[in-house]
Amino acid sequence: MSFVIDPPVQPSVAVKGGGKFPVRRIFCIGRNYDDHVREMGGDPKNSTPVFFTKPADAVVPDGATLPYPQRTSNLHFEGELVLALKSGGRDIKSADAAKALIYGYAAGCDLTRRDLQNKAKDAQGPWDTAKGFDHSAPIGEIVPADELLSGLACAQLATTVNGEVRQRAPLSMMIWSPEEIIMFLSELFELKSGDLIFTGTPEGVGELTRGDQLNVTIGDHLSLDFAIAS
- Report the percentage of the chain scoring pLDDT > 70: 97
**E-assigned strands of 57-142?**
59-60, 65-66, 75-77, 79-85, 102-109, 112-113, 137-138
- pLDDT per position as a tens digit, 45-76: 666 889 999 999 999 999 999 999 999 999 99
- pLDDT per position as a tens digit, 119-167: 999 999 999 999 999 999 999 999 999 998 777 878 999 999 999 999 9
* Fold of the domain spanning 20-228: Fumarylacetoacetate hydrolase; domain 2 (3.90.850)
pLDDT of 177 over the 80 cut: yes
**Cβ distance 82 to 32 under 8 Å?**
no
Backbone angles phi, psi at 143, to 5 degrees: -100, 120
How sure is the predictor about 87, in pLDDT bands with cuts at 50, 70 and 90?
very high
| Burial of residue 146, with CB atoms counted within 10 A of its CB: 0-12 exposed, 13-18 middle, 19 or more buried | exposed
Radius of gyration of the chain (CA): 17
- Amino acid 37: pLDDT: 72
User: String of b and e for 22-41 (b: at least 16 CB within 10 Å)?
Assistant: ebbbbbbbbbbbbebbeeee
Look at the pTM and tell me if it is higher than 0.85. Answer: yes
Distance of alpha carbon 126 from alpha carbon 128, whole angstroms: 6
Q: How many other C-beta atoms are found inside a 10 Å radius of the C-beta of residue 159?
A: 27
**Cβ distance 65 to 227 under 8 Å?**
yes
- Amino acid 31: pLDDT: 87
- Residue 84 pairs in a beta bridge with 104, 196
